[in-house]
A and B are shown apart, each in its own frame.
Chain A
């Protein structure tokens, strides 16, 4: 884990975080046991997945669904459930 190499008195007291947007550096992707995969043939870029994703892990460029940010995706599967075109499927990690 990032920064887990300092002595106790080198951190801000009380566990406070004094930096903006530091959650971006906290990689939660390794919590995942299933990964979402997208079939771009079926995708209509409705961006439901982007709206529902609780971890902002759906990559959107120019209003088009471009894939997943696997460094943060925890594999909850909400995107696959909400996709109206069944374009997202959950695959076992390591399978």
Chain B
């Protein structure tokens, strides 16, 4: 039986780790992720887990430790944010190319400067090309649920890729919510035993990890990563289906809301997806034909699923809590590209919003829908910036 309890998003992830009891956690604290490793270190100190917990001297070292541990045959987790993720950069690529299913929580925070500790997605969005699976959670419940599912997806033999479970810094990481937690034995059974491929500690079958890869082989190994990433789609669907059976909570790769007869759709990843649904309900009450789409999975990018939802709509606002300066928000060109081959193309515009933790509430999202419905949106819009 589930017991209700209040937790913030970070505590929820630490609790998920406690239930999973990973073999190794190596981390370095950084706001707004700190509560995760702080709460988990309590579980370690109090003997609730058997985890080998390493407080590394930097994020580069933390992920390096995870890579070594994962190659050695350990189930491994870590957490970071913002500059910490940036400091892991070269190791992100090492982890994914060595096909190590490390699970990392990212409490999304602006990547300075000017220096800022609040939420936007610039940190993880910058890592979109690093070969990591990226799942964005809307609230603390999803932060917990996504963590449990991420181990299953990353460790699946058809995948074997590292995964980021992203949650909005402060908005989700530090806000208390009423949680539904699964019992320990249910979690243990769901996540299962960690299976290792050629662990370094198997001395009878010596293996070299991460050797130099010459031009004759490198492309084939990259292609292996590409195909593994494609396999995330069916694997994640299956993992989510099984999760629904144990929890009663159903998830999809993208989650449409009241879109069936909608003419205008706004889409976002993270906590803003909830604000979108609230606004859709208000506008629907006024008779407006609007809907919303939550982007849960950013890597791999669910092209077909998005195209299916958005085809035939009049206009779509892609909301990006990140900016590739000199281009657009990161999801915008991908959504437009996803819609290029469909017959009934909507008008698609970008709304860059909420950078550095700028609050985006119901009234702000109403501006987006209003401009979208009146055809007043530019191709790229910067929501609420004083210009």
Contacts and interface: CB of A to CB of B under 8 A. Distances in A.
A56 B52 CA distance: 39
Q: Is the interface of A mostly helix, strand, loop or mixed?
A: loop
B250 interface: no
A22 B209 CA distance: 13
B98 A15 contact: yes
B213 interface: yes
A17 B97 contact: no
Given A4-B217, A12-B198, A17 B211 contact: yes
Nearest to B98: A14
Contact of A16 (B208, B216, B220, B227): B208
A13 B217 contact: no
Interface in A1-55: 1, 4, 6-9, 11-18, 20, 22
Interface string B204-219: 0111111101101100
B192 interface: no
Nearest to B228: A13
Contact of B221 (A4, A11, A18, A20): A11
A18 B227 CA distance: 21
B223 A14 contact: no
Nearest to A14: B99
Nearest to A21: B206
B93 to A, nearest CB: 12
Interface string B221-240: 10110011000000000000
Nearest to A26: B214
B224 A17 contact: no
Contact of B98 (A1, A11, A16): A16
Interface of B: 97-100, 160, 197-198, 205-211, 213-214, 216-217, 220-221, 223-224, 227-228
A22 B98 CA distance: 19
Q: Is the interface of B mostly helix, strand, loop or mixed?
A: loop
Given A7-B220, A15-B213, 19 more contacts: A1-B216, A6-B220, A8-B221, A9-B224, A11-B224, A13-B160, A13-B224, A14-B97, A14-B98, A14-B99, A14-B100, A15-B97, A15-B211, A16-B198, A16-B208, A16-B209, A17-B207, A17-B211, A18-B207
Given A1-B216, A18-B198, A20-B206, A13 B223 contact: no
Interface of A: 1, 4, 6-9, 11-18, 20, 22
A18 B199 CA distance: 10
Contacts of B210: 14-16
A11 B198 contact: no
A14 B221 contact: yes
B226 to A, nearest CB: 9
A51 B269 CA distance: 60
Contacts of A22: 208
A24 to B, nearest CB: 13
A36 to B, nearest CB: 24
A81 B304 CA distance: 64
A13 B97 CA distance: 9
25 contacts: A4-B216, A4-B217, A8-B221, A8-B223, A8-B224, A8-B227, A9-B224, A11-B221, A11-B224, A13-B99, A13-B228, A14-B97, A14-B100, A14-B209, A14-B210, A15-B97, A15-B211, A15-B213, A15-B217, A16-B198, A16-B207, A16-B209, A17-B207, A17-B211, A18-B207
The 3 closest A-B pairs by CB, nearest first: A14-B99, A4-B216, A8-B220
A18 B205 CA distance: 7
Contacts of B209: 14, 16
B216 to A, nearest CB: 4
B163 to A, nearest CB: 16
B195 to A, nearest CB: 13
